[in-house]
Amino acid sequence: MTSRLRSVVSATGFALAVIGMLASDADAQRGGGGRGGGGGGFSRESPAANGGLSSGSGRGTQGRAAAQDRGATAGQSQAGQSRAGQTGENQAARQESRASAQASRQQYGASAQSSRQEAYDDQHWDQGKGLAIAATGAAVVGTVGAVRAASAPPPVAAQPSEFTTAPATPPPAAPAAPCENPTVVPSGGVSYARCGSAWYTQAYGANGPTWVQSAPPPGS
């Protein structure tokens, strides 16, 4: 009786272990998460992802900050000069002249800074600045997609003519909708998805298709 009980317990334990392993394997195969994320919820975002010879987090940014600091220092210095001049004769005239000169210098400084920035961006075009525009400007909701991707249906097989090489890894799930059962509204050739009061549009970002929060479709 005791040995039969032991056998039953052992068999149950073994079965549970096998089921656990299978479930874990299935999870691993489904993994990959959203297009901006990776398996296990790890992020793929990185300044190194762009493989650029310049980096937005590099000296360019520091240089811009330093230029702004220099501008601030110059402004403070000019303010100091203004204060010192308040005690002399023809104070109003001098102040007006200085204010005008200061405004002119500031305007020139801002314009020069803007020109320098544009020139820097032109020369360092591969620094990955566009990623920031895509990621922050359009409020990417890759995380939501990542959560939902695990339960998404398997993707349709690719047509062989699109790629010249065979895949090394089975493709991941297609990016899922931004929420459960969204209301999809086509407008102007673009599909909008409504989740509660928020609207989303699917768009192509640096890491592939993703859902981004958007304004409501025109006329809605």
Footprint of another protein on 25-84 (CB under 8 A): 31-32, 35, 38-39, 42-55, 57-63
> Is there binding between residue 179 and another protein (CB under 8 A)?
no
The tokens for 27 are 């999870």
Rounded to a whole number of angstroms, the minimum distance from the CB of residue 21 to another protein is 21
Rounded to a whole number of angstroms, the minimum distance from the CB of residue 104 to another protein is 26
Q: Which long-range contacts (CB under 8 A, 24 or more apart) does 71-79 make?
A: 71/106, 71/109, 71/110, 71/113, 74/105, 74/109, 75/102, 75/106, 78/102, 78/105
Would you say 143 and 178 are in contact if contact means Cβ atoms under 8 Å apart? no
DSSP string, 4-18: HHHHHHHHHHHHHHH
**According to CB under 8 A, which residues from 94 to 123 bind another protein?**
121-123
Rounded to a whole number of angstroms, the minimum distance from the CB of residue 82 to another protein is 34
Nearer to another protein, 104 or 183 (CB): 183
CA distances in angstroms from 156 to 45, 99, 172, listed in the order given: 27, 67, 11
Dihedral pair phi/psi, residue 38, rounded to 5° = -125, -175
**According to CB under 8 A, which residues from 119 to 158 bind another protein?**
121-134, 137-140, 155-156, 158
**Using CB under 8 A, which of the segments 7-15, 71-79, 103-111, 209-217 binds another protein?**
209-217
Contacting residue, 2, 4, 87, 189, with another protein by CB under 8 A: 189
> Is there binding between residue 173 and another protein (CB under 8 A)?
yes
Contacting residue, 180, 196, 215, 218, with another protein by CB under 8 A: 215
> Is there binding between residue 220 and another protein (CB under 8 A)?
no
Would you say 129 and 56 are in contact if contact means Cβ atoms under 8 Å apart? yes
Nearest to 151 by CA among 20, 9, 34, 5: 34
Nearer to another protein, 55 or 117 (CB): 55
Contacting residue, 2, 89, 93, 170, with another protein by CB under 8 A: 170
Rounded to a whole number of angstroms, the minimum distance from the CB of residue 94 to another protein is 39
Nearer to another protein, 2 or 159 (CB): 159
The span from the CA of 23 to the CA of 40, in Å, is: 14
Angle in degrees, 0-180, between the axes of helices 91-123 and 59-84, rounded to the nearest 10: 180
